[in-house]
């Protein structure tokens, strides 16, 4: 039943998100946020799961959810006070629930008695009353239908039916429904109400109550039904008010109820009602009925299949390539065909926007990654006996979905690491004069096309000397090297496989399998990981990730007549090898090297690495190039015959049949439609003979401080003061010189009308701690590349555009809105972080409005 | 395997594949050569944005290799296991035949060129070697 599969899938996703909310809610309650809303929300989530689960016959899930719901219900109506033990029990039950949901197919066979008893002990009473249910299965719901149509209610054995209902925890209600109130024709009203009742429970009896039967005149209708729901929920589910239903007490007044029902059943008019068709219990109403209040979040969202999104991403990338080709082909003829130029411009612009928007669909907030952390920290700190206060910032920062997925494992490990090794026991902390509770801070920030996530602890810091020692012991580094290495270089050693300074291997970590895997995983996603530490003060692990996986800048190179694409990340230098110089290659232990300044660089011939015969000497009309590449701690040179072009490419995965080749990381379709293999820098490095690992470790040619080596284009400008600001070109859409007189002043703010948009002008002086100066006569507007642009920055002077490495100075001057300060050509430049700036602006607005009592 | 066969020539050998496996047939297109240890792989082709792996059917099926004209490229639908599409070259196309199961015969083992085929179809004048390309490919 394909359809059922899809529905179960939807249930699973929804239920999963509910359990996550439950966990977050419970942890918040634990912290002391004892608000009613919070309890309500957790309750609702459990209720939801129970309700929808029942339609799929997921008995254990329903049972467990029901137990949780009962317990939460008690807390909610204040008959139980929430405390640590209750929260523990609920959290644990939630874990089991998560597990069941993760394995729906086999969930009914799992044993949940432990969790159930743990929960029940708080309920204090025997289980019969608030019975845990075996609720309606799809099959039963269908049979409800049939029972409906079964003519004789007489033959129903109420006594045993009631016993069953009691066991299931159902209640019986009598509803006298007057369709007149709804102004619907009786039959329709009957059908609708009947359908609603079916969706929440089981119909026991239904018939017209008044005397005009079958005459078509409007009359009251009587329903008697059983359902799990409490009265208030029934009323809401059926859209009725208080007086409309009466609960029949089948527990204590069984006989009376039976008598009443029998007499009702026997009344005339039954026959007419049988024929009315009733709706199938719809699977979604069970979910909807639990919301006693309107949905608290008005988000307009729809669910989209991830595969579909991936297709969109692929298609949009192909579109970009096709557009590139189109522009290339028509570049010359554009002038000759009237109007063509404008159309090409439009296509160009639209395609770019399309691409950007589609990439946006794959963006998810990092909150998805961060949600699991509080729980993890809680559990770990308990088991390790440490006290940790967790601070999480920047949850709204967005990352490509697949990057978030890929970060889950590395994250877990880094946090375990911080808790296990970094943070000391409370006693140790007190001894060193630190507060007992350690601080663990997880902060995400974005800017300039990348996202930075910091995991900072104020623990013991990494002992550089011990690292050096351990590395020596394990033979991971050469003794000579070890003494001459800089502190940063030694720190980087922790990322080597097999490295660990801990004395024991705990169950949590210490096996030394962690950090190198973390590094590898992060690099696979196109990011980098760095570590900063200060002895006794703490450690920071910094992950820097690209905003998107898909398109990367690359260099198109050629060797032996074949073309390849080499990702630009990790490219340090390009050298021309003038023919005489080839002979400057030396050989050390069988590995070709090049003496470069005072270092030895291992050299890889691309043709060799891919298995091609080297180009015959006479073909080498060109001067071969040597590309200096960096991977991890090693530099090497790659010799290619030609460098053809620079192109942004979309890397597609290698076809399965080629997976053995480590030098390739994927394939790509170039702008001209041809396919090129994409080289893997790391894979190429691996073709170097192992013995030479030590040889190429640069001593100082690469900047220390572990900053990004890739150069970024930054635009320098000045506002009205003397400070120079910088903004990543990637974030700038346009720069427009304007006449200050055209600025409109409305309500104390400044606006400018540009190309159909009304832009709010931002003066940096208003938001950053700067000295405001006089207004100037020439003004420029910097329009940022944002979707739905509404702000523009005001600049007095546009200075220059430089390509520089984003190496931030340890800054004395830092403020919100600034990503950091750079040193560019001897001058200090304050690099803006647009996202932070915009948030700052909006917050200031909000504060201002509140003050004004708006 | 289904009943409709696409027949084609690889060199002098008349071969067939289940037409349900075929995505499309194009005249020889440009492709990028790939150097791989597996010499059954010829290269990669761009089919409207999808990367198709071109394989040497003659090599895989151990058919006698003569001059290859490689006029047509038969692109197969994606292999369910790996989600990658493959394709191969055919020198000439034959007809699409409807084969009744009665006409199928399992190839006798150890007999040269038929042994890698799924089955053979004996007609009056000729013998059609029917292959399952993905099976052959996934073997090694």
Pairwise CA distance, residues A200 & A233, whole Å: 10
- Percent of chain A's residues with pLDDT above 90: 2
Distance between A604 CA and the closest CA of chain B, angstroms: 17
- Is residue B7 very low, low, confident or very high in pLDDT (cuts 50, 70, 90)? very high
Window B:39-68, CB contacts with A under 8 Å = 41, 44-46, 49, 51, 53, 55
Q: Could you tell me whether strands A749-754 and B72-76 are parallel, antiparallel, or unpaired per DSSP bridges?
A: unpaired
- Position A421 scores a pLDDT of 82
Residues of A in contact with B137 (CB under 8 A): 657
Nearest to B44 among A563, A612, A667 (CB): A667
pLDDT band at B23 (very low <50, low <70, confident <90, very high): very high
Beta-bridge partner residues of B16: B7, B130
CA atoms within 13 A on the CB side of A227: 29
**Band of residue A462 on the pLDDT scale cut at 50, 70, 90:** confident
C-alpha triplet A98, A80, A65: angle, nearest 5°:
20
In three-state secondary structure terms, A646 is: strand
Confidence of residue B78 (pLDDT cuts 50, 70, 90): confident
Give the mean pLDDT of chain A.
74
Higher pLDDT, A55 or A2: A55
- Given a cut of 80, whether residue B30 has pLDDT beyond it is yes
Residue A55 pLDDT:
79
- Predicted confidence at residue A130, as pLDDT, reads 35
- Over its C-alpha atoms, chain A yields an Rg (Å, rounded) of 35
C-beta separation of A658 from A678 below 8 A = no
How far apart (Å, rounded) are the C-alpha atoms in residues A740 and A429?
A: 59
- Please indicate whether, in this complex, the C-beta atoms of A674 and B46 are within 8 angstroms of each other: yes
pLDDT score recorded for residue A534: 86
Q: Is A785 exposed, middle or buried (0-12, 13-18, 19+ CB in 10 A)?
A: middle
Largest CA distance in chain B: 43
Are B137 and A657 in contact (CB < 8 Å)? Answer: yes
Average pLDDT over residues B79-84: 71
Which among B30, B32, B51 has the least Cβ separation from residue A652?
A: B51
Residue A440, exposed/middle/buried by CB under 10 A (0-12, 13-18, 19+)? Answer: buried
Please name the member of B32, B53, B86 whose beta carbon is closest to the beta carbon of A676.
B32
Question: Do the chains contact at A657 and B45, CB–CB below 8 Å?
Answer: no
More confident residue, B25 or A288: B25
Task: Work out the number of other CB atoms within 10 angstroms of the CB of residue A162.
Answer: 21
Secondary element (H or E) of residue A554: strand A551-559
Q: Is A695 a residue whose pLDDT tops 50? A: no
- pLDDT tens across A125-159, in order? 444 333 333 333 333 333 444 444 343 444 456 77
Maximum Cα interatomic distance, chain A, rounded to a whole number of Å: 112
> Which among A318, A656, A660 has CB closest to B37?
A660
Q: Are A258 and A248 in contact (CB under 8 A)?
A: no
Helix (H) or strand (E) holding B17: strand B13-18
User: Sheet holding A779-784: strands in order across?
Assistant: A732-738, A779-784, A791-795, A757-762, A749-754, A744-746
Q: Which pLDDT belongs to residue A711?
A: 66
For residue A321, give the chain B residue with the closest CA. Answer: B49
CA distance B81 to B134: 9
pLDDT at A452 over 90: no
The neighbour count for residue A308, using CB atoms within 10 Å, is: 10
**Mutation target vs B (from A653, A657, A661; most B CBs, 10 A cutoff):** A657
Residue B35: which of A612, A667, A675 has the nearest Cβ? Answer: A612
Question: Is there a contact between A661 and B36 if contact means CB atoms under 8 Å apart?
Answer: yes
Residues B52, B45: Cα–Cα separation, whole Å? 5
Better pLDDT: B56 or B62: B56
Helices A254-266 & A158-168, crossing angle to 10 degrees?
120
Tens digits of residue pLDDT in A252-292: 777 777 777 777 666 544 433 333 333 333 333 333 333 33
CA distance A447 to A548: 13
The lowest-confidence range among A25-29, A286-290, A583-587, B71-75 is A286-290
Contact criterion met (CB < 8 Å) for A611 and B35? yes
Task: Check residue A147 and give its pLDDT.
Answer: 41
Q: What is the 3-state secondary structure (H, E, C) of A31-64?
A: HCCCCHHHHHHHHHHHHHHHHHHHHCCCHHHHHH
Per-residue pLDDT tens over the stretch A73-103? 888 887 777 788 888 888 888 988 988 888 8
In terms of average pLDDT, the best of A20-24, A653-657, A777-781, B47-51 is: A20-24
Q: How far is B134 from chain A (nearest CA, A)?
A: 11
Residue A436's pLDDT band, with cuts at 50, 70 and 90, is confident
pLDDT value at position A281? 34
CB A574 within 8 A of CB A626: yes
Mean pLDDT, rounded, for A792-816: 76
* Test the A interface: residue of B30, B31, B35 with most A CBs within 10 Å: B35
Question: CA dist A464 to A473, A535, A704, Å?
Answer: 14, 8, 16
pLDDT over 80 at A627, yes or no: yes
B55: chain A residues, CB-CB within 8 Å = 657
**A100/A44 Cα distance (integer angstroms):** 19
Sorting pLDDT into bands at 50, 70 and 90, what band is A472?
Answer: confident
- The answer to whether A314 contacts B49, with C-beta atoms less than 8 Å apart, is yes
How far apart CA A476 and CA B50 sit, in angstroms, is 44
- Residue A456's pLDDT is 92
Q: Give the Cα separation of A780 and A794 in Å (integer).
A: 6
Of A508-517, A792-801, A802-811, the least confident: A508-517
Does B33 sit within 8 Å of A675, measured CB to CB?
A: no
Q: Closest to A656 (Cβ–Cβ): which among B31, B49, B84?
A: B84
For residue A233, give the nearest of A359, A367, A50 by alpha carbon. Answer: A50
For residue B134, pLDDT over 80 is answered with: yes
The residue in chain A having the minimum alpha-carbon distance to the alpha carbon of residue B44 is A675
To the nearest whole Å, the CA of A655 is away from the closest chain B CA by: 6
**Which stretch of A41-55, A82-96, A432-446, A592-606 has the lowest confidence by average pLDDT?**
A592-606
Whether A299 has a pLDDT exceeding 70, the answer reads: no
Of A732, A722, A706, A724, nearest to A823 by C-alpha is A724
Non-local CB neighbours of A470 within 8 Å, separated by 6+ positions = A499, A500, A501
Could you tell me the CA-to-CA distances from A152 to A146, A175, A262, A267, A422 in Å, in that order? 12, 20, 11, 12, 74
The CA distance from B19 to the nearest CA of chain A, in Å, is 23
Q: Which of A94-103, A209-218, A602-611, A710-719 is predicted least confidently?
A: A209-218
Q: Is B115 on the interface with A (CB under 8 A)?
A: no
Instruction: Tell me the mean pLDDT in the region A497-526.
Output: 63
Helices A59-76, A113-123: crossing angle, 10 deg rounding: 20
User: Does the distance separating the beta carbons of A655 and B36 come in below 8 Å?
Assistant: no
Best mutation target, A655, A670, A671, A677, to test chain B (most B CBs within 10 A): A655
Q: What gap in Å lies between CA A58 and CA A49, rounded to an integer?
A: 10
Taking the model in full, what pTM does it have? 0.46
Q: Hey, how many other C-beta atoms are within 10 angstroms of the C-beta on B100? A: 8
**Selected residue with higher pLDDT from A274 and A185:** A185
Please say if the pLDDT value at position A764 is more than 70.
yes
Looking at chain A, which residue has its C-alpha nearest residue B139? A657
Q: Does the structure's ipTM exceed the value 0.90?
A: no
Cβ contact (<8 Å) for B44 and A675? yes
Provide the pLDDT confidence category of residue A243 given band limits of 50, 70 and 90.
Answer: low
- Chain A residues in contact with B79 (beta carbon < 8 A): 656
B26–chain A Cβ distance below 8 A for any pair: no
Residue-level pLDDT at A383:
86
Q: Which residues contact A1 (CB under 8 A, 6 or more apart)?
A: none
Q: Judge whether residue B22 has pLDDT over 90.
A: yes
A854 vs A334, residue with greater confidence: A334
Q: Of how many residues is chain A composed? A: 854
């Amino acid at each position: 039943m394909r359809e059922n599969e899809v529905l179960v899938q939807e249930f699973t996703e929804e239920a999963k998100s509910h359990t996550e909310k439950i966990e977050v809610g419970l942890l918040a309650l634990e912290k002391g946020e004892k608000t009613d809303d919070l309890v309500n929300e957790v309750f609702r989530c459990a209720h939801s799961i129970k309700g929808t689960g029942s339609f799929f016959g997921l008995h254990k899930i329903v049972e467990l959810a029901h137990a949780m719901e009962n317990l939460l219900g008690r807390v909610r109506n204040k008959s139980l006070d929430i405390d640590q033990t209750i929260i523990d029990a609920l959290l644990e039950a939630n874990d089991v629930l998560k597990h069941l949901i993760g394995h729906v197919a086999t969930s009914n066979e799992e044993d949940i008695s432990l969790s159930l008893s743990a929960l029940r002990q708080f309920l204090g009473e025997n289980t019969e009353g608030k019975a845990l249910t075996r609720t309606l299965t799809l099959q039963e719901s269908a049979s409800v239908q049939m029972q409906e149509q079964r003519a004789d209610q007489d033959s129903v054995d109420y006594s045993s039916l009631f016993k069953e209902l009691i066991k299931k925890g159902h209640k019986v209600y009598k509803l006298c429904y007057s369709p007149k109130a709804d102004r619907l024709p009786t039959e329709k009203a009957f059908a609708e109400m009947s359908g609603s009742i079916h969706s929440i429970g089981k119909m026991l009896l239904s018939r017209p109550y008044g005397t005009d039967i079958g005459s078509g005149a409007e009359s009251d209708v009587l329903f008697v039904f059983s359902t799990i729901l409490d009265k208030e929920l029934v009323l809401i589910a059926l859209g009725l008010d208080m007086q409309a239903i009466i609960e029949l007490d089948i527990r204590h007044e069984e006989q009376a109820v039976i008598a009443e029902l029998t007499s009702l059943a026997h009344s005339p008019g039954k026959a007419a009602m049988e024929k009315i068709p009733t709706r199938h219990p719809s699977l979604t109403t069970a979910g909807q009925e639990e919301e006693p209040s309107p949905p608290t979040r008005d988000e307009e969202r729809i669910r989209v299949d991830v595969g579909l999104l991936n297709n969109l991403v692929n298609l949009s990338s192909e579109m970009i390539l096709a557009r590139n080709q189109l522009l290339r082909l028509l570049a010359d003829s554009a002038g000759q065909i009237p109007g063509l130029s404008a159309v090409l411009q439009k296509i160009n612009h639209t395609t770019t926007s399309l691409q950007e928007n589609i990439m946006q669909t794959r963006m998810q907030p990092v909150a998805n990654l961060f949600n699991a952390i509080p729980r993890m920290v809680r559990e770990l700190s308990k088991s390790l006996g440490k006290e940790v206060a967790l601070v999480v910032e920047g949850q709204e920062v967005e990352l490509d979905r697949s990057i978030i997925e890929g970060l889950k494992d590395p994250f877990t490990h880094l946090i375990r690491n911080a808790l296990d090794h970094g943070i000391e026991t409370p006693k140790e902390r007190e001894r060193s004069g630190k507060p007992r509770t350690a601080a663990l801070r997880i902060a995400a920030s974005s800017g300039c096309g990348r996202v930075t996530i910091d995991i900072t602890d104020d623990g013991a810091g990494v002992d550089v000397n011990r690292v050096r020692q351990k590395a020596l012991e394990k033979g991971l580094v050469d003794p000579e090297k070890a003494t001459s290495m800089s502190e940063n270089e030694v720190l980087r050693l922790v990322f080597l496989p097999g490295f660990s300074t801990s004395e024991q291997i705990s169950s949590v970590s210490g096996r030394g399998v962690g950090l190198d895997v973390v590094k590898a995983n992060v690099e696979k996603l196109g990011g980098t990981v760095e570590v900063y530490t200060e002895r006794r003060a703490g450690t920071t692990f910094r992950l820097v990730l690209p905003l998107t996986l898909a398109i990367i800048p690359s260099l198109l190179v050629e060797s032996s007549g074949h073309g390849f694409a080499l990702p630009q990340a990790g490219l340090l230098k390009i050298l021309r090898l003038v023919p005489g110089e080839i002979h400057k290659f030396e050989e050390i232990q069988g590995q070709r090297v090049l003496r470069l300044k005072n270092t030895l660089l291992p050299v890889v011939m691309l043709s060799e690495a891919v298995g091609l015969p080297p180009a015959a000497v006479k073909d080498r009309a060109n001067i071969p190039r040597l590309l200096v590449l960096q991977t991890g701690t090693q530099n090497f040179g790659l010799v290619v015959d030609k460098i053809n072009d620079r192109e942004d490419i979309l890397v597609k995965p290698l076809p399965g049949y080629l997976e053995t080749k480590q030098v390739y990381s994927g394939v790509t379709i170039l702008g001209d439609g041809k396919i090129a293999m994409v080289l893997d820098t790391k894979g190429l490095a691996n073709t170097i003979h192992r013995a030479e690992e030590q040889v190429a470790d640069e001593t100082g040619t690469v900047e220390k401080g572990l900053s990004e080596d890739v150069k970024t284009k930054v635009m320098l400008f000045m506002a009205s003061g003397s400070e120079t600001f910088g903004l990543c070109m990637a974030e700038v859409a346009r720069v427009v010189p304007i006449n200050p007189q055209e600025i409109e002043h409305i309500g104390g703010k400044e606006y400018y009308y540009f190309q159909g948009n009304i832009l709010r002008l931002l003066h940096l002086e208003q938001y950053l701690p700067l000295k405001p100066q006089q207004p100037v006569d020439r003004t420029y507007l910097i329009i940022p590349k944002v979707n739905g642009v509404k702000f523009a920055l005001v600049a007095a002077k546009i200075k220059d555009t430089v390509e520089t490495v984003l190496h931030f100075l340890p800054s004395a001057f830092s403020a919100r809105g600034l990503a950091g300060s750079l040193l560019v050509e001897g001058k200090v430049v304050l690099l803006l972080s647009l996202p932070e700036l915009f948030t700052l602006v909006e917050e200031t607005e909000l504060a201002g409005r509140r003050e004004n009592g708006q | 395997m289904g009943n409709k066969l696409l027949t084609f020539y690889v060199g002098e050998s008349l071969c067939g594949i289940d037409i349900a496996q075929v995505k499309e047939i194009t005249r020889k297109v440009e492709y990028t050569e790939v150097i791989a240890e597996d010499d059954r792989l010829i290269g990669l082709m761009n089919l409207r944005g999808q990367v198709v792996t071109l394989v040497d059917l003659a090599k895989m099926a151990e058919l006698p290799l003569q001059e290859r004209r490689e006029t047509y490229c038969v692109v197969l639908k994606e292999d369910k296991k790996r989600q990658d599409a493959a394709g191969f070259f055919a020198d000439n196309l034959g007809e699409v035949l409807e084969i009744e199961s009665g006409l199928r015969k399992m190839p006798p083992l150890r007999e040269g060129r038929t042994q890698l085929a799924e089955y053979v179809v004996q007609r009056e004048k000729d013998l059609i070697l029917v292959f399952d390309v993905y099976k052959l490919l996934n073997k090694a």
